Copies of this chain bind each other. A is one copy, B any other.
Amino acid sequence: MKKITVKTSKPYNVLIEQGILSNCGKYISEVVNTKYVALITDDIVDGLYSEKVIKSLSEYGFTVKKYVFENGEKSKCSQNLNNIYDFLAKNNITRTDCIIALGGGVTGDISGFAAATFLRGIPYIQIPTTLLAQIDSSVGGKTAINLPCGKNLVGAFKQPELVLCDPLTLKTLPDKIVSDGMAEAIKYGMIRSRELFDIIASHDLSNYFEQADDIIYRCISIKSNIVENDEFDKGERMLLNFGHTLGHAVESYYNYSGYTHGSAVAIGMNLITQQAVKKGLCNELTSDILVKVLKAYDLPLTADAKTEELTALCSNDKKCESQSINIIICSDIGISYINKISFEEFLAFMNA
C-alpha cells in the first residue's frame, strides 16, 4: 500500500492499493466516530462497486444509507444537491456521522459540498473511482456544484477525513475516461516533475496500467505538496491551473458537451505552450514532446473554436481577478510559474 499524508489545516491520509475497496470498512472505521454513514454515488458506479463497499462497511459494523443519482455532469447541480440535503435530513444524519463519496469527480465534488454545508459541515470520505478523481478532484478539499451560468461557481474548501484510491477501478473505465484523467497526470508532470512525465511518456493508453499505482502516487504527492503550501488557492495552487483557463473556455464554448474536462485541458496546455514558444518563454522541443504525449493518450491538441473566441470567454473564469488574469507557463518539462498579466496583455499573448 502507498500512503500520502496531506498536511492541510486538518491533515488526512490518501491510501492507494489495488483492491482496497473490499477492505474500505477497516480504514474508514479508523477515522470516524460513528457507525452511521451516508453513501453517495451515481447509477453507473452503484452497479459496479456499491455492493462491495457496503459489504466491507457492514463487516465493520456500519449502518449504510445509500443515495444514488443519475451519472453525468448535469447532476452536479443545485437540484441534485437539494435532493442530497433532503436525503441526509430524512435519514437523521447528524454532525458526528459521515458522508462517503463513491465515484468520479461529479460525485466527489457534490458530495463534498453537501458535507461542507449540511448542518454547517459534517465529515466526509472520498473513494474516487476514475483516474481524474483519484489524482485530482478527491485530494485538496475543493468541492463545488455548477450554476446554469458556469461550472464550479459555487463551492467550499472542505478537506476529507480520508481518501481511498483503488487503481483496479480504472480497469472498468472506457478509454475516453482514462484519457480524460491522463491529461491531468500529464499536467502534473509538466508543472512539477520530469520523472513523472517520463513515466507517462514511456507508456500509452494501452499499457499505462502497468504504472498506474506509481502514476497516481506521484500525481497526488505533487498535488498534496502544492495544496499544503496554499490550501485556499491564493498563490502557488494556481500552478495546478496549467492549461485550465483556456481549457475552461473550450468546455464553455462547446456548452460542456463537446469535450471532456481532460480533453479541454489538453487543448489548453497545448495552446498556451505554443504561444509560450512564440514568445521565447519555452523551447520548441518541450512543446513537441508535450504534443507527442498528448497524442499517445488520444487527447486533442486544438479545437475548431477561434483563439479570439476562447480568450474572450476567459474573462468569465473565476480565477480571473477583476482586470488581471493569472496564466501558467511551463518553461521546460517539470518547471512552471505563474504570470499575472492584464487582460489586454493576455489577449496580445494569445494572438502573438
Contact = CB atoms under 8 A, between A and B. Distances in A.
Interface of A: 34, 36, 78, 82, 85-86, 89-90, 92, 94-97, 113, 116-121, 142, 144, 147-150, 153-157, 232-233, 316, 318, 320-322
Given A78-B78, A78-B82, A85-B154, A318 B149 contact: no
29 contacts: A36-B322, A78-B78, A82-B147, A85-B147, A86-B148, A86-B149, A89-B147, A89-B150, A89-B153, A94-B318, A94-B322, A95-B318, A95-B321, A96-B321, A96-B322, A97-B322, A113-B117, A116-B156, A117-B155, A117-B156, A118-B153, A118-B154, A119-B155, A119-B318, A120-B156, A120-B233, A121-B156, A121-B157, A156-B156
Contacts of A232: 121
Contacts of A95: 318, 321
Per assembly, the copies of the chain total 2
Contacts of A86: 147-149
B94 A154 contact: no
Given A95-B321, A96-B321, A90 B149 contact: yes
**Would you list the 8 A-B pairs with minimal beta carbon distance, nearest first?**
A120-B155, A89-B149, A119-B318, A117-B154, A96-B321, A85-B147, A78-B82, A94-B321
Contacts of A149: 86, 89-90
A165 to B, nearest CB: 24
A34 B34 CA distance: 44
Nearest to A148: B86
A72 to B, nearest CB: 20
Nearest to A141: B120
B156 A142 contact: no
Contacts of A36: 322
A337 to B, nearest CB: 21
A321 B144 CA distance: 27
Contacts of A89: 147, 149-150, 153
A35 B116 CA distance: 30
Nearest to A145: B117
Contacts of A142: 120
Given A92-B316, A156-B156, 14 more contacts: A85-B147, A86-B148, A89-B147, A89-B150, A89-B153, A94-B318, A94-B320, A94-B321, A94-B322, A96-B322, A117-B156, A118-B154, A120-B156, A121-B232
A89 B154 CA distance: 10
B153 A85 contact: yes
Contacts of A78: 78, 82
